Structure 1
Amino acid sequence: MDTTRERAPLTRVPLSDAPRPPLDLTLPPWPGEHVEAGGVRLHIRRTPGPTDETAVYVHGLGGSSLNWTDLSAQLSGHAQGIAVDLPGAGRSEPPGGYKFDLVDHVDTLAKFMRGMELGPVHLFGNSMGGAVSMVLAAKYPELVRTLTLVSPAVPDLRPLPNRMSDPRIPFAMMPFIGARFRRQLAALTPMQRAQQLVNLCFAVPSMVPPHRMDETAQEFADRAKIAWAAQSLMATTMGLFRAWLVPPSQSLWRIVPKITAPTLVVWGTQDKLVTVRKAPRTARLLPRGRLLVLPNTGHVAQIERPETVARAALGLWEAAKEDIW
């Protein structure tokens, strides 16, 4: 029986009035570098800010540290930012024998954070990065001060083709027939792939600035030259699916109630990848969770609505500091 109490209504999610830089959608990506810490080597992007507070940003499936440019800028007056490329994503080459399961990502990120002497941090996760962040917050609570989840990839077993940037992707993973579909996908131009991704993830794709489209297309072009990129993406996808298909006793739904950090759940009403219908249950199961649902927003609210997400995240930080969340 679910005995968790109902959370506060949406209107009571505190939106901070703390000062933030003016939103500048022309900002280039933050500088990237490879860093080795805790026996782990990851590519990260740093956002300068006060060093007494740190925000760590974890991207979703097929994403990278580029997904946090605007939100981390909005929060830069309050915390330094570290956006990671998980192994096999962005520019982080996976080590030999890496399994690409959620637990691998969680343990790797925890080792890296400890090696950098980070924690407790303000942890952000989008989509699969949200699932990684949930498990990390439950397994390593000492590393997490607050948790912000943007459309976390909780189990959603609706048919897959309509929830992927190209409906041919599931077929490309199959034996025998997969090779034909992989050739078709490889023939797409980087800009075509970027447009597919934006159409899937954004509620209003036409609102994406041209230079952000160029950045996304360039990332597709860069990854096409990396030998391990395609196989890593496929393995990571399968790792996420495995996390959704485990027995109920091992489900992500059993992990959520173990999270003790004050948590903000943000979801877009037009999310095509993980239905907003999962949002109330996610927030309700969190011992210290609240829910903010954003209209006319898709799967990547931190990109589509960075100002609103920043105000809500700062409200979470302020309330957690005063222990009123």
Structure 2
Amino acid sequence: MSSTELPETIAAAVAPKVSPVRVADGERLRSVTLPGLTLTVRSRPASRTGAPPALYVHGLGGSSQNWSAMMPLLADIVDGEAVDLPGFGDSPPPDDGNYSITGHARAVIRLLDAEERGPVHLFGNSLGGAVVTRVAAARPDLVRTLTLISPALPELRVQRTALPTALLAVPGVASLFGRLTRDWTAEQRTRGAMELTYGNPSSVTEEDLGHAVREMERRLQLPYFWDAMTNSARGIVNAYTLGGQHGLWRQAERVLAPTLLVYGGRDLLVSYRMARRASAAFRGSRLLTLPDAGHVAMMEYPRQVAQACRELIDDYDRS
């Protein structure tokens, strides 16, 4: 290779060839470039003119594709967009390497401010639930309603089934896990993730499993995959230890937006018992419990979750 070639040309030549991200029928992908940050946004345009904007935020190890089943069910009442958080989906890592809850929340706020889409109907799952809680507390002007699906809010007694995920935050554990599982196929990894996040993994269709496996294959080619996972997991653990006004439960009490809480009875990562505490913390909130759902109710039971969201949004519009 000639030394006269530009650095970006050399980088492109040695960069891993990664397959493109899947885009479902009716969806669009675009890239938003901000100083020190590039975010991929998946949109599902509203089926009617003038529908209010919505933003969906995924959980740890997820991406904007996690909302593809539910977004069409609300397309008649909201103009939906789902963001890939920095380092996930098709968004590259942030320049500052900040994967904390605050760092992710700042990315969401910067996106909304840059595009002047707020106030939005804001949705979050797991890690995304903690992120949007912080957004709603810090910037109430950006939020119409808030929907939290198994939000990763601090638990005093973490479920044993959630401990392996929490251990990713411990230095060295991710590299050890990578060595121990280097012979695992993408399908084995995908099925393992579904066992952890679905209440009934056998309900996943072969088509959806195939899409998930191909996405796993794509992610494993990304050189920053484990870095984003481990540092975001560490961000969750660190947020659990914060007290005072920066604590997530204290911030939950400051949320002004009408809030819907969704919890699954078979959730192995966020305890079902947290529904009571969350209902008390988010003032005037409403609660949807799905006894057979796991950690990603919007993927397992999109119609039931969408119906509860529809009722929340309708009541907000009437008020």
Cα distance in 2 between the residues matched to 1:135 and 1:168: 22
Cα deviation for residue 156 of structure 1 reads 2.4
Cα distance in 2 between the residues matched to 1:168 and 1:202: 15
Cα deviation for residue 55 of structure 1 reads 1.2
Query: Partner amino acid for 2:162?
Result: R
User: Of residues 233, 236, 239 in structure 2, which corresponds to 1:240?
Assistant: 236
Cα deviation for residue 53 of structure 1 reads 1.0
The 8 Å contact of residues 268 and 294 in structure 1, kept in 2 or not, is answered as: yes
Q: What CA deviation, in whole Å up to 9, does each residue of 1:154-206 have, x standing for no partner?
A: 11254576226xx498379444x764432122321111111011111111110
1:274 equivalent in structure 2: 270
Cα distance in 1 between the residues matched to 2:244 and 2:160: 25
Structure 2 portions without partners, runs of 5+: 1-23
> Structure 1's 89 and 319: CA in aligned 2 closer, same or farther, altered over 3 A?
same
The 8 Å contact of residues 58 and 65 in structure 1, kept in 2 or not, is answered as: yes
Query: Partner amino acid for 1:100?
Result: Y
Cα distance in 2 between the residues matched to 1:96 and 1:183: 27
Q: What CA deviation, in whole Å up to 9, does each residue of 1:22-53 have, x standing for no partner?
A: xxxxx658332222257742011110214431
The 8 Å contact of residues 56 and 82 in structure 2, kept in 1 or not, is answered as: yes
Cα distance in 2 between the residues matched to 1:275 and 1:130: 14
Count, aligned residues: 294
1:30 equivalent in structure 2: 27
Percent identical among aligned pairs is 36
The answer to whether the aligner puts 1:102 opposite 2:101 as a matched pair is yes
Higher mean C-alpha deviation, range 99-108 or range 154-163: 154-163
Cα deviation for residue 217 of structure 1 reads 1.1
The 8 Å contact of residues 57 and 83 in structure 1, kept in 2 or not, is answered as: yes
The answer to whether the aligner puts 1:47 opposite 2:48 as a matched pair is no
Cα distance in 1 between the residues matched to 2:156 and 2:84: 26
User: Normalised by the size of structure 1, how large is the TM-score?
Assistant: 0.85
Cα deviation for residue 294 of structure 1 reads 1.1
Query: Partner amino acid for 1:91?
Result: D
Q: CA RMSD in A?
A: 2.1
| 1:11-30 correspondence to structure 2 within 5 Å | 30=27
Cα distance in 1 between the residues matched to 2:80 and 2:168: 38
Query: Partner amino acid for 1:95?
Result: P
- Give secondary structure in 1 for the equivalent of 2:273: helix
The answer to whether the aligner puts 1:306 opposite 2:302 as a matched pair is yes
Cα deviation for residue 80 of structure 1 reads 1.4
Instruction: Tell me which of the two structures has the higher relative contact order, counting C-alpha pairs closer than 8 angstroms and 6 or more residues apart.
Output: 1
Query: Partner amino acid for 1:43?
Result: T
> Structure 1's 294 and 180: CA in aligned 2 closer, same or farther, altered over 3 A?
closer
2:122 equivalent in structure 1: 123
User: Normalised by the size of structure 2, how large is the TM-score?
Assistant: 0.86
1:183 equivalent in structure 2: 179
Cα deviation for residue 107 of structure 1 reads 1.1
User: Of residues 274, 284, 290 in structure 2, which corresponds to 1:294?
Assistant: 290
Cα deviation for residue 144 of structure 1 reads 0.4
> Structure 1's 184 and 117: CA in aligned 2 closer, same or farther, altered over 3 A?
same
Query: Partner amino acid for 2:270?
Result: V
